[in-house]
Amino acid sequence: MSSARRTLLLSVCVVTAAMLLWTYQQQPQRALGNVLMMLVILLGVVLGACFFIALQYLMKGAWAVVLRRIPEALTGLLPAAAALTVIVWLGHAQLYHWVHPHGDVLLEGKQVFLNMPFFTLRLLIYFSLWFLIIGRIVKHSRAQDEDGSPTHTFANVRWSAAYMIVFALSYSFASFDLVMSLEPHWFSTIFGVYNFAGAFLSALTVTTLLVIYYRRKDCFKDIQPVHVTFLAKLIFAFCIFWAYIWFSQFMLIWYSNIPEETVYFIPRMQGAWRPLFFANLALNWLVPFLGLLGYRAKRNIPWLVCVCMAVLAGRALDVYLMVMPPLSHGHGPQFGAVELLSLASIAALGLLFFKRTLHKHPLAPTHDPLFQESAQLHE
């Protein structure tokens, strides 16, 4: 990365930090809500990228070996997510209503789980496990470049199996802790799966855009058009999965019509939130579903880039709708300079950490036993 480009990205982060500090003086919940949004989006990309890597190891997916360095580098954003988590933790009193139950019988009943010492302990456990397992998977992958031993592949199969179990539990509970507890009177047993669907879809989309970019720069000699097509197929499949989980959560609450459950959707379907509610469904499902339905669409790179950008916008909107309504206190959505800068800083932070991680090691895992099979992939 050129020094000018690095300076520009750092400037975006500095300006965003200054804007958030200024906003915090006026509207602390809005500022902290934007930090929480950044955390949820960034964490979804990081953990979703590692899920993609682990899935390939467990399924012996040879096709993705040549592009594995990209999702591996995306896991390098985990320290940035940890830093944002510290900010959220410091601002817990403004974000989370359950910190001050004030005689609320329901919240007092949930104090066994929703209390700051246990909340802090859970966050420490989540990140300790993520740093440990992701670090081991990436370490074995890169060590294989040096000695070429297949034992690293066998070790990563075991670590990937462990990651699947840890990820399923930890990310679900992290979603409960960081996002669902913003509205502690409401709960959904499917909320963790819903967040997983969005996280993995965003990780696939970011990976696809980076593969397209680096392939055009001729950095990855072995990535073929068929690899991009396979990624497009995964995006198509998981946009349907996301919509299925979205519908499952919404439909069950809608037809049961229990006040304790409908309290989540009613504010999001009224007033100025209503267009955003349906735009969320359109961007995360309708656009990628119709846009990638045909075979040629999955091979049309400019068109695929547009669809990916729409999905990323949809992911940002999805997180916005989860985080901001309970912090707006009955007011409509607020979207201004601080929100735009927060979204821009996610990209800036991501690129800074991604570039720093990617170029430290060979771009092609040529000593992986399945590398040649992956490089010679054809439809």
| Model pLDDT, residue 280 | 95
- Of 322, 141, 147, 159, nearest in space to 249 by CA: 322
Contact 312, 347 (CB under 8 A): no
Tell me the two tokens of residue 83.
């830093």
The confidence score (pLDDT) of residue 83 equals 94
pTM for the full predicted model: 0.93
Of 56-60, 202-206, 252-256, 353-357, where does mean pLDDT reach its minimum?
Answer: 353-357
Cα separation, 223 vs 377, in Å, equals 9
**pLDDT tens sequence across 281-290:** 999 999 999 9
Residue 108 has pLDDT above 90, yes or no: no
Q: Given pLDDT bands bounded at 50, 70 and 90, which one contains residue 367?
A: confident
pLDDT over 90 at 156, yes or no: yes
pLDDT higher than 70, residue 379: no
For residue 18, the model assigns a pLDDT of 92
Q: How far is Cα 306 from Cα 33, in angstroms, rounded to an integer?
A: 28
Q: What is the mean pLDDT of residues 331-347?
A: 88
Q: Quickly state the pLDDT bin for 106 (edges 50, 70, 90).
A: confident
User: What is the percent of the chain with per-residue pLDDT over 90, rounded to a whole number?
Assistant: 63
Give the least confident one: 118-122, 182-186, 216-220.
216-220
Alpha-carbon distances of 345 from 42, 191, 281, 305, 339, rounded to whole Å: 11, 27, 25, 20, 10
Q: What confidence category does residue 70 fall into, taking pLDDT thresholds of 50, 70 and 90?
A: very high
Q: What local confidence, expressed as pLDDT, does residue 86 receive?
A: 95
The answer on pLDDT for 75 being more than 80 is yes
Chain mean pLDDT for the chain? 91
> Which is higher by pLDDT, 297 or 148?
297
**pLDDT score at 190:** 92
Task: Match 């999955």 to its residue by tokens.
Answer: 298
Give the pLDDT confidence of 305-325 residue by residue, as tens digits.
999 999 999 999 999 999 999
pLDDT at site 309: 96
Average pLDDT score over residue span 13-32 = 91
pLDDT at residue 187, rounded to an integer: 87
Query: How confident is the model over 5-24, as a mean pLDDT?
Result: 89
Three-state SS letters, the chain: CCHHHHHHHHHHHHHHHHHHHHHHHHCHHHHHHHHHHHHHHHHHHHHHHHHHHHHHHHHCCHHHHHHCHHHHHHHHHHHHHHHHHHHHHHCHHHHCHHHCCCCCHHHHHCCCCCCHHHHHHHHHHHHHHHHHHHHHHHHHHHHHHHHCCCHHHHHHHHHHHHHHHHHHHHHHHHHHHHCHHHCCCCCCCCHHHHHHHHHHHHHHHHHHHHHHHHHHCCCCCCCCHHHHHHHHHHHHHHHHHHHHHHHHHHHHHHHHCCHHHHHHHHHHCCCCHHHHHHHHHHHHHHHHHHHCCCHHHHHCHHHHHHHHHHHHHHHHHHHHHHHCHHHHCCCCCCCCHHHHHHHHHHHHHHHHHHHHHHCCCCCCCCCCCCHHHHHCCCC
- Kindly give, in sequence order, each residue whose CB lies less than 8 Å from that of residue 203, ignoring residues fewer than 6 positions away: 44, 45, 46, 47, 48, 49, 51, 52, 71, 74
Above 90 in pLDDT, residue 128?
yes
More confident residue, 335 or 181: 181
Mean pLDDT, to the nearest integer, of 131-138? Answer: 95
Lowest mean pLDDT among 50-59, 142-151, 215-224, 296-305: 215-224
Domain ranges of the chain: 3-99+111-375
Q: What does the pLDDT read at residue 1?
A: 64
Residue 37 has pLDDT above 90, yes or no: yes
